[in-house]
Amino acid sequence: MLGMSRSMGMAGVAALSLLAAAAWPPAAVHAKDVTLEFVVWNYSLDTIQDNVRQFEAENPGIKVNVTDYTWPDYHDSVVLRFRGNTTTDVIYGGQDWLPAWAAAGYLYPLDEIAADAIESYKKDLAGFTINDMTYDGHLYGLPYYADTISFIYNQRILKDAAIEVPTSWEEVADAARKLKANGMERPIVYEFNQELPNFYDAFVAQAYGRGGDLFDEEGEAIFNRPDNAAFQQLSWLRDVIAEGLVAFENHESTIIPAMNSGKHAFTIVYNYVLAAMNNKADQPLAGEFALARMPGEAQSTLGFTKFYAITSSAAENRERREAAWKFVDFMAGPPYAVAKRWAIEKGLGFGQLPLLEDPEVIEAWSGWVDMPTLQAQIETARGGTWKEWTAVWAASFRPLMAQAMIGEATVEEVMSQGAERWDALRAQMAR
Amino acid sequence: MTGRLADRLIVNLAALLVLAFAAGPILLAAFGSVVPDRILFDRDRSVLEGGMTLDNYRYIFTGRLPAAYMAEGANRAMISDAARQVPRSLWNSAQISTSVLALNLLLGAPAAFAFARFAFPRKKPAFLFLILSPLVPAVALVTPIYLLVDGLDLLGTKLAVVLVHTARSLPFTILILSVFFRKLPEELFEAAVIDGCSRLQSFLRVALPLALPAVCATGLFAFMLSYTEFLFSMVLSGDARSRPLSVVMAALARNTDVSWSLLNSAIFIAVLPTLLLVVLVWRYVVEGLLAGAVKG
């Protein structure tokens, strides 16, 4: 048997050598005038690469290398590139990362690269996207992808139970109680995961629906006041959970099959989840789900924006800066062909308002969302309060929210602790 | 008699339990990969109703969309093209892990033999340094290793991943093999020296053949460590041309644009090489180990 192992070993060594040699091919050499390093998270790389090819064809002399990371590791990987001075010219940015990255000097304001163009583009951008891409009075990006948090309901279930689409949180609770009385065990399904930013974002969207905010214009915490919309919303969540009206899922991807089980009538998730829920390719109840304006007096919601941004290192060199701007302008500027492509082919949301009127976008999206409702929601959506410390603070606030929601702490306690933490971080950053 | 029956029952139940944990996820992945999502999620429909389909495998290997996604009104956002990186990343992983295996054996076996059989200055601190170095959490090493690799201009290459994986797995290889070499009878090496063998010859002609099963097992261990490693692979590997399977699988598992059946198909494809390796090679390793134990 050992002899057999040895002969196998010899064959193995030969195979190992071949494989090992193939692991180290010579590096390819590119000879172009400017080569931009474009860093993205790996959503739909084929489409990204195809867009890049189109840009390169239209702009001879500029080549774009795409490097991608997985979404959960993207932030840390990009920071590592910044810290390691790895050549990086254009990146996907996010509203929550912008304050820290801009304050650290990693990103360069677009309005200092192409002031006139940026000024003229602003009129086409949704208000929340401008908020999300602005830091210290400067615009740092143009939208790659923008979306809002949606209140989603099952049309068939509501129709069968003769329930009107709720427009306030009290009506949502009443509808849920009626459905529960009719035999639906948990009419609301909620993404409950204190580790995920979505958990906080969805809560802010609900507070916006009520017409309130967690912070005042000076950036001071006001959500610890009992008359504040966020305070009231957390109390509402605590109550409906205590009543047994809410089922928990720990990720938006599991909300999709949960809603498609027909066991829940309402949920609050990003709008792209509605597209997935209504996907006729793989969802049994596709077509039953609809968007409603976020309940509450204001019917506003939270929007978010991921955007193309140019790094400061790219902006240092005139040729790279101009090439990077051309690239960003191609990907996100008028006539918004790339944003339109994402919207039609992949159902990605956008911050460029003219696309809401585009017949091809309307045709593509009408299969899964009511466009007039979406347009109304987008136009009233607001951006979040994004400071250098927001992400750190939100990570500490999410577990507090969770405690209050399941009754392990009072709303008063967690809101008070959350406000203290916010003020402490704010003071620390000011120093 | 009753007691023996009860014993056998308990042993069989325990074996079934282990089998369920070991094989259950693989079988579920295989099952989920051939059942359309639409049926998988619908508790009112039998899984056999819609028939089995290999559409997801065809998409991964050829790029042809599954029939369900060609239907009118279907949203193609949930059919991630990241899944199409699986075959290439599998090949990348094979190259990287095999290189790691080879380097571990080429460097680790002689080093282990030296630590086991020879006396040399600073042997003890050197050995302690080697075996304690894996205790440093990987996450603490990411930034310095990234800067080092970047400084060597190896960022985005398979070579960078191979070197780091080798550095991370080599201590285990040396530790395991040195223990094995230490257990070999001293008389064998004395006899080899009397017969005129040099140190290198006694390693190549005496120690290595006797330790072959352990060397194979340790090499496989290094292969597995490399094949499943994620953190350094993700940070250092760059784009799809050099990206190993662990990074692609992480993208598929955590990105929201991946349907369940597509994810299951990718999981099953990812598991297959490991299964094949176990079936083809592990038997010889275990048999070799047992033979060595009897002879020793």
Question: What tens digit of pLDDT does each residue of A191-201 get?
Answer: 999 998 899 99
Q: How far is CA A320 from the centre of its chain?
A: 29
d(CA A52, CA A63): 9
pLDDT-wise least confident of A293-302, A356-365, A367-376, B237-246: B237-246
**Alpha carbon A170 to chain centroid, angstroms:** 28
> Does B284 contact A5 at a Cβ distance shorter than 8 Å?
yes
DSSP letters spanning chain B:
-HHHHHHHHHHHHHHHHHHHHHHHHHHHHHHHHHS-HHHHT-TTS-TTTT----HHHHHHHH-PPPHHHHSTT--GGGB-GGGGGHHHHHHHHHHHHHHHHHHIIIIIHHHHHHHHH---TTHHHHHHHHHHGGGS-HHHHHHHHHHHHHHTT-TTSHHHHHHHHHHHHHHHHHHHHHHHHHHS-HHHHHHHHHTT--HHHIIIIIIHHHTHHHHHHHHHHHHHHHHH--HHHHHH--STTT--HHHHHHHHHH-TTB-HHHHHHHHHHHHHHHHHHIIIIIHHHHHHHHHHHHH-
DSSP for A226-237, please give it: TTSHHHHHHHHH
Where along chain A do the CATH 3.40.190.10 domains lie? 34-147+304-374, 149-302+383-430
Q: Which of A20, A73, A275 sits opposite B99 (nearest CB)?
A: A20
φ, ψ of residue A282 to 5 degrees: the values are -140, 0
Residues of chain B neighbouring A368 (CB-CB closer than 8 A): 75
Quickly tell me which residue has 């995920």 as its tokens. A196
- DSSP letter at A343 equals I
**pLDDT of amino acid B42:** 72
Nearest residue of B to residue A367, measured between CA atoms: B73
A211 within 8 A of A297, measured Cβ to Cβ = yes
Give contacts of A15 with chain B, Cβ < 8 Å.
Answer: 98
Amino acid at B34: V
Residues 6+ apart with CB under 8 A from A369: A271, A274, A275, A278, A290, A291
pLDDT of residue A12: 45
Q: Count CB neighbours of A157 within 10 A.
A: 22
How many residues are recorded in chain B? 296
Task: Tell me the pLDDT band of B291, cut-offs 50, 70 and 90.
Answer: low
Using a CB-CB distance cutoff of 8 angstroms, which residues of chain B are in contact with residue A7?
Answer: none
CB contact under 8 A, A20 and B98: yes
For A149-302+383-430, CATH gives 3.40.190.10
Q: A188 near A247, Cβ under 8 Å?
A: yes
Q: Is the pLDDT of residue A425 over 50?
A: yes
pLDDT above 70 (res A27):
no
- The pLDDT score that the predictor gives to residue A154 is 98
CA-wise closest residue to A129 among A350, A346, A300 = A350
Q: Which of the listed CATH numbers 2.130.10.10, 3.40.718.10, 3.30.1490.20, 3.40.190.10 matches domain A34-147+304-374?
A: 3.40.190.10
Question: Does residue B222 carry a pLDDT above 90?
Answer: yes
**Residue from the list A8, A69, A286 with its beta carbon closest to the beta carbon of B284:** A8
Tell me, yes or no, if B250 comes closer than 8 A to chain A by beta carbon.
yes
φ and ψ of B116, to 5 deg: -80, -35
Contact status, residue A186 vs residue A244, Cβ threshold 8 Å? yes
**The pLDDT of residue B122:** 93
What is the mean predicted confidence (pLDDT) over B242-249?
Answer: 92
Q: Which two tokens stand for residue A189?
A: 């399904």
Give bridge partners of residue A40 from the DSSP assignment: A68
Dihedral angle sign, alpha carbons of residues A124, A125, A127, A130: negative
What's chain A's average pLDDT?
91
Q: Is the pLDDT of residue B41 over 80?
A: no
Q: Which of B76, B78, B276 is the best mutation test for A, with the most CBs of A within 10 A?
A: B78
- CB nearest to A45's CB, from B81, B156, B254: B81
Chain A: give the shortest CA distance to residue B157, in Å. 8
pLDDT tens-digit series, residues B66-112: 887 777 667 766 677 788 889 999 999 999 999 999 999 999 999 99
Residue B1 predicted with pLDDT over 80:
no
- The DSSP bridge pattern shows strands A303-311 and A142-154 to be antiparallel
A213-222 mean pLDDT: 94
Per-residue pLDDT at B285: 65
Q: Is B280 exposed, middle or buried, given 0-12, 13-18 or 19+ CB atoms closer than 10 A?
A: exposed
Q: CA of A286 to nearest chain B CA: how many angstroms apart?
A: 9
Reported as type and span, the H/E element at residue A61 is: none
Using pLDDT thresholds of 50, 70 and 90, give the confidence band for residue B241: confident
Minimum-distance CB partner of B69 among A22, A281, A348:
A281
Show the beta-strand stretches assigned E in A21-82: 34-41, 62-69
Which residue in B240, B238, B229, B234 sits closest to B81, CA to CA? B240
Contact A71 B68 (CB under 8 A): no
Q: What is the pLDDT of residue B46?
A: 75
pLDDT digits (tens, 9 = 90+) for A391-424: 899 999 999 999 999 999 999 999 999 999 999 9
Task: Tally C-beta pairs within 8 A across A and B.
Answer: 172
Give the gap in angstroms from C-alpha A415 to the nearest C-alpha of chain B. 31
Asked if the model's pLDDT at residue B238 lies above 90, the reply is: no
Question: Hey, which residues does A92 pair with through a beta bridge?
Answer: A308
Search chain B and give the residue with CA nearest A346.
B77
pLDDT above 60: residue A20 = no
Torsion, Cα A289 A291 A295 A298, to 10 degrees, reads 180
Chain A CB within 8 Å of residue B80 CB:
yes
Per-residue pLDDT averaged across B34-53, rounded?
Answer: 77
Residue A307: CB atoms within 10 A of its CB come to 26
A335: preceding bond cis by omega (within 30 degrees): yes
Inter-chain CB proximity B75 and A275 less than 8 Å: yes
Name every chain A residue with its beta carbon within 8 A of the beta carbon of B209.
2, 6
Tokens of B48: 């056999």
Helix (H) or strand (E) run with residue A224 in it: none
Mind telling me how many Å the CA of A122 is from chain B's nearest CA? 28
Distance from the A148 Cα atom to the nearest Cα atom in chain B, whole angstroms: 16
Give residue A22's pLDDT. Answer: 47
**Quick one: B85-295 is in which CATH superfamily?**
MetI-like (1.10.3720.10)
Residue of B40, B65, B75, B150 for testing the chain A interface, max A β-carbons within 10 Å:
B75
Which of the listed ranges A67-76, A121-130, B71-80 does the model predict with the highest average pLDDT? A121-130
Q: Nearest residue of A to residue B66 by CA position?
A: A281
In this predicted structure, the answer to whether residue A31 has a pLDDT above a threshold of 60 is no
Q: To 5 degrees, how large is the angle CA A156–CA A266–CA A376?
A: 90
CB contact (8 A) between residue B81 and residue A279? no
Tell me which residue of A266, A75, A258 sits closest to A157, measured CA to CA.
Answer: A266
pLDDT (0 to 100) of residue A10: 40
Averaged confidence pLDDT in chain B: 87
Q: What is the largest CA-CA distance in chain A?
A: 82
Q: Do B99 and A19 touch (CB under 8 A)?
A: yes
Going by pLDDT thresholds of 50, 70 and 90, the confidence category of residue B193 is: confident
**b/e map A334-347, b = 16+ CB within 10 Å:** eebebbbbbbbebb
Confidence of residue A4 (pLDDT cuts 50, 70, 90): very low
Residue B2: what pLDDT? 72
- Percent of chain A at pLDDT exceeding 70: 93
Instruction: Read off the pLDDT of each residue in A295-306 and give the average, rounded to a whole number.
Output: 97
Is pLDDT at A14 greater than 60 in this prediction?
no
What does the DSSP assignment read for A152-186?
EEEHHHHHHTT-PPP-SHHHHHHHHHHHHHTT-S-
The Cα–Cα gap between B96 and A177 comes to 57
Q: Quick check: B171 contacting A, CB < 8 Å?
A: no
pLDDT for residue A3: 37
- What letter does residue A8 receive in the DSSP assignment? H
Chain B residue numbers with beta carbons less than 8 Å from the beta carbon of A47 are 81
Please give the residue that has the higher pLDDT: either A207 or B253: A207
**Rounded to whole angstroms, how far apart are CA atoms A413 and A409?**
7
Mean pLDDT of A25-47: 74
CB nearest to A24's CB, from B73, B94, B159: B159
Average of per-residue pLDDT across B221-226: 91
Average pLDDT of span A123-144: 97
Residue type, B239: D
The confidence score (pLDDT) of residue A44 equals 84
What is the model's pLDDT at position B283?
67
Mean pLDDT of all residues in A357-362? 96
Number of neighbours of residue A209 by Cβ within 10 angstroms: 27
Mean pLDDT on B181-204: 89
Return the top range by mean pLDDT from A45-54, A153-162, B40-49. A153-162
Q: Closest chain B residue to A259 measured between Cα atoms?
A: B41
Facing residue for A281 by CB, picked from B75, B96, B284: B75
Please state the φ and ψ torsions of residue A36, each to the nearest 5 degrees.
Answer: -90, 140
- Give pLDDT tens digits for B246-275: 999 988 887 777 888 889 999 999 988 878
Q: What is the pLDDT of residues A241-250, one digit of tens each?
A: 999 999 999 9
Q: How far apart are the first and last CA of chain B?
A: 38
Tell me what pLDDT residue B286 has: 67
B147-186 b/e (C-beta count within 10 Å ≥ 16 → b)? bebbeeebbbbbbbbbbbbbbbbbbbbbbbbbebbeebee
Nearest C-alpha neighbor of A348 from the set A181, A145, A56, A195: A145
B134's CB contacts (< 8 A; 6+ apart) are: B168, B171, B172
At residue A397, the pLDDT reads: 97
Q: Is B77 part of the contact surface with chain A (CB cutoff 8 Å)?
A: yes
The whole-number pLDDT of residue A98 equals 97
Whether B38 has a pLDDT exceeding 80, the answer reads no
Q: Rounded to whole angstroms, how far apart are CA atoms B134 and B229?
A: 14
Task: Specify the domain boundaries for CATH 1.10.3720.10 within chain B.
Answer: 85-295
Grade residue A26 by pLDDT with cuts at 50, 70 and 90: very low
